[in-house]
Amino acid sequence: MCGICGIVDFESNPAAETVRGMTASLAHRGPDDHDVAMLGAAALGHARLSIIDLSSTGHQPMRTPDGSVSIVFNGEVYNFPELKARLEAEGVHFRGTSDTEVVLHAYARWGTHALRLFNGMFAAAIWDAKTQTLLLARDRFGIKPLYYHRLSRGIVFGSEMKAVLASGRVEKRMCWDALHEYLYYGNPLRHRTLFEGIVELLPGHYLTVDAAGLRTQAYWRVEDVASVDDDLDSATEKVRTRLEDSVRRHLIADVPVGVFLSGGIDSSAITAFASRHYQGRLKTYSVGFDFEHGVNELPKARRIAEHFGTDHEELQIAGGNMPDVIERLVRAHDEPFADAANIPLYLLCDQLRGAIKVVLQGDGGDEIFAGYRRYNVLAHERFWRIVAIVAPMMSPLLPRRPGYYRGMRFFQAISQSDPAMRMALLMTQEFFSSPPTRVLTADAKARLLKTDPFAAYRAQYERFKHLDPVQRMLYVDSQILLPDQFLEKVDKSTMACSIEIRVPFLDTELTEYAMGLPSSYKVRNRKKKFILRRALRGVVPDEVLDGPKTGFGVPFEYWLKKPLAGYMRGVLLDSATLSRGLFDRAALEACINEHIEGRRNNGFLLYKLLNLALWQRFYLDQG
């Protein structure tokens, strides 16, 4: 796992000092080694976290023996031994044992077709000196990030936006389209970032840059996944086999590998299979926090660890100076990011910093096998739409407790006549009738009226409208929720501590099969993850398979009422914050008071606004 960056400029060759500064900004992603390659119109930078081939033959930037093709690579390709054997059979000679060298020669031999052969997570930049062309590519699900800014005749790119900003080529301005999405979802969607002019390469895409311009193209699309018509017993066996094979592949490393064990289905399955195939005694980690009103998963995780005989370590982490943690995470993401689950993940990795480099985690299982409540709802969409007609009639009789607002928000979403809007509104905690823009100034609202925060969901609905509601939502989540929220959270909050997270549920062979299964195999008899539970019966203890779904309990809404209330007020109502002309003071104060006094839970909105104000202070005010 590493950080990559670079510049291609056909008007004036990049300066070495600039690329070194960009590379230095990524030192947390690759503390073991760093270097740059100056290649005329192109310059490539690399910061290395050594995991496979720890020797100098794994050093990057890496070149083919004739020097014609150069690469910087971030990630892991788990099927590189098979690809290496294939290339050796075609006469390719290898100097070392890294997967990067395999990727380099695969591209030199097979061109962009090689991207379809890689099973792994990656962001890569490859410079072809003969054609004077740069290729940027990103893995199928966007596990590894890659950002870029277009120049008049070239491009600036990096694993994180801070590297792109360090080039000095980007004017720091806010993207209003992305802001509108952020206010609803807590993160921008698809290619957008909060910086105007910095975009993210979409998952499953590659980009080429030469003197003629810039072009992007998909090399993999989720709609190309073939439908599977296996019977349930056969499908169950294949899911089990493919998941075990995936975990085995994800253990490949020249350094120790551990597992983050929460005690849920996904992490327990990974622990079960990893304990079978790991050379030595598997290390598992669980975490307990002193978060008041949080969820304690330690007892459940401890039982799973004992069941599989792992070398288990429980980390007790104090929340400590939470304002400092929130501020560090805004800097880690380079933009406001409102999934507070990044807090415990960051604190866990911060405590493990230096103790381990590679950890397996269960992300992706919910989006591939239908682990969320809304999939159950969509399986009975007609019933819930009828209930939504009756619900408003009962509204005056119900007490205004937090559950009331959650229920009304759900019924408002499910009752939408436009199916694209139904899907979009199910994915936000905000009311369509009481939008998050209510705390903004009139000028800011007027600017946002020109943008559509639901455009990404409308576009994805058009792609998948031929599918049943559950399968449609699963595919859309794989394109938006998974890369834009969950994988973003995992990458930035762990790589800030120089730890590589691997996600076996997003293995190519597993997902190509599981995504093609009918939705009735995933949601059945009101059971979520039906086929996964069935596949793991006898592998994972029944208490896990039949237990309720839990996750990191991050009580940020409570914090904003109590311990963080003063800090939140100080940031949001600060004269510098208000002078930027984005927030309306009276509306903002009313929102804060409503939350602190317990009249309405505005926690998610206030947490988004807090992150947004900090981002403006750290990034835009310094521009």
Phi, psi of 37 (to 5 degrees): -125, 125
- Sequence-distant (6+) residues with CB within 8 A of 424 are 454, 457, 458
Q: How confident is the model at residue 1 (pLDDT cuts 50, 70, 90)?
A: low
Please state, as a whole number, how many other Cβ atoms lie within 10 Å of the Cβ of residue 313: 16
Kindly list the structural domains of the chain, giving each domain's residue range(s) and its CATH number in brackets, ordered by start.
2-220 (3.60.20.10), 227-369+487-545 (3.40.50.620), 555-623 (no CATH)
Distance between CA atoms of 281 and 301, rounded to whole angstroms? 17
Please state, as a whole number, how many other Cβ atoms lie within 10 Å of the Cβ of residue 357: 20
pLDDT in tens, 264-291: 999 999 999 999 999 989 999 998 877 6
Write out the E strands in 290-428. Answer: 311-317, 358-360
Average pLDDT, integer, range 37-51: 92
Write out the E strands in 95-193. Answer: 120-128, 133-138, 147-151, 154-158
Write out the E strands in 10-142. Answer: 33-39, 42-48, 62-63, 69-77, 120-128, 133-138
| CA 69 to each of CA 133, 168, 328, 444, 583: distance values in angstroms, whole numbers, following the listed order | 10, 27, 37, 48, 50
Does pLDDT of 319 surpass 80? no
Distance between CA atoms of 79 and 246, rounded to whole angstroms? 10
Q: How confident is the model at residue 292 (pLDDT cuts 50, 70, 90)?
A: low
Does pLDDT of 49 surpass 60? yes
Does pLDDT of 55 surpass 70? yes
CA-nearest of 20, 186, 172, 191 to 618 is: 172
Does pLDDT of 622 surpass 70? no
Helix (H) or strand (E) holding 346: helix 342-352
Please check whether residue 123 is in contact with residue 116, taking contact to mean a CB–CB distance below 8 angstroms: no
Q: Is 609 helix (H, G, I), strand (E, B) or coil?
A: helix
Helix (H) or strand (E) holding 166: helix 161-166
Instruction: State pTM to two decimals.
Output: 0.95
Please check whether residue 472 is in contact with residue 381, taking contact to mean a CB–CB distance below 8 angstroms: no
Please state, as a whole number, how many other Cβ atoms lie within 10 Å of the Cβ of residue 132: 16
576-580: long-range contacts, CB 8 A cutoff, minimum separation 24: 576/617, 576/621, 577/613, 577/616, 577/617, 580/616, 580/620
Q: Which two tokens stand for residue 202?
A: 């979409």
Q: How confident is the model at residue 58 (pLDDT cuts 50, 70, 90)?
A: confident
What b/e readout covers 169-178, taking b as 16+ CB neighbours within 10 angstroms?
Answer: bbeeebbebb
Average pLDDT, the chain: 92
Does pLDDT of 480 surpass 90? yes
Out of 43-52, 252-261, 327-336, give the one with best mean pLDDT: 327-336
pLDDT in tens, 383-410: 777 776 666 656 555 555 556 667 777 7
Residue 571 has what pLDDT?
Answer: 96
Phi, psi of 599 (to 5 degrees): -80, -25
pLDDT in tens, 343-381: 989 988 998 988 899 999 999 999 999 998 888 888 887
| Position with higher pLDDT, 401 vs 73 | 73
- Sequence-distant (6+) residues with CB within 8 A of 268 are 261, 304, 540, 541, 544
Write out the E strands in 241-325. Answer: 257-260, 283-289, 311-317
Out of 37-51, 124-138, 287-301, 372-386, give the one with best mean pLDDT: 124-138
Residue 379 has what pLDDT?
Answer: 82
Please check whether residue 457 is in contact with residue 420, taking contact to mean a CB–CB distance below 8 angstroms: yes
| Position with higher pLDDT, 247 vs 421 | 247
Residue 51 has what pLDDT?
Answer: 79
What b/e readout covers 439-463, taking b as 16+ CB neighbours within 10 angstroms?
Answer: bbbeebeeebeeeebbbbbeebbee
Does pLDDT of 87 surpass 90? yes
pLDDT in tens, 439-470: 999 999 999 999 999 999 999 999 999 999 99
Q: Which residue has the tokens 């066996």?
A: 237
Please state, as a whole number, how many other Cβ atoms lie within 10 Å of the Cβ of residue 44: 29
Residue 481 has what pLDDT?
Answer: 96
Distance between CA atoms of 316 and 314, rounded to whole angstroms? 6
As a whole-number percent, the residues of the chain with pLDDT over 70 amount to 94
3-state helix, strand, coil in the chain (%, to 5): 50, 15, 35
As a whole-number percent, the residues of the chain with pLDDT over 90 amount to 77
Lowest mean pLDDT segment, chosen from 190-194, 516-520, 547-551, 559-563: 547-551
Task: Write down how long the chain is.
Answer: 623
- Sequence-distant (6+) residues with CB within 8 A of 487 are 141, 142, 143, 363, 503
Residue 93 has what pLDDT?
Answer: 95
Average pLDDT, integer, range 563-569: 94
Distance between CA atoms of 205 and 217, rounded to whole angstroms? 6
In which region does residue 564 sit, left (phi positive, over 0), alpha (psi from -120 to 50) or beta (all else)? alpha
- Sequence-distant (6+) residues with CB within 8 A of 368 are 474, 478, 505, 506, 510, 511, 514, 515
| Position with higher pLDDT, 52 vs 319 | 52
Q: How confident is the model at residue 234 (pLDDT cuts 50, 70, 90)?
A: very high
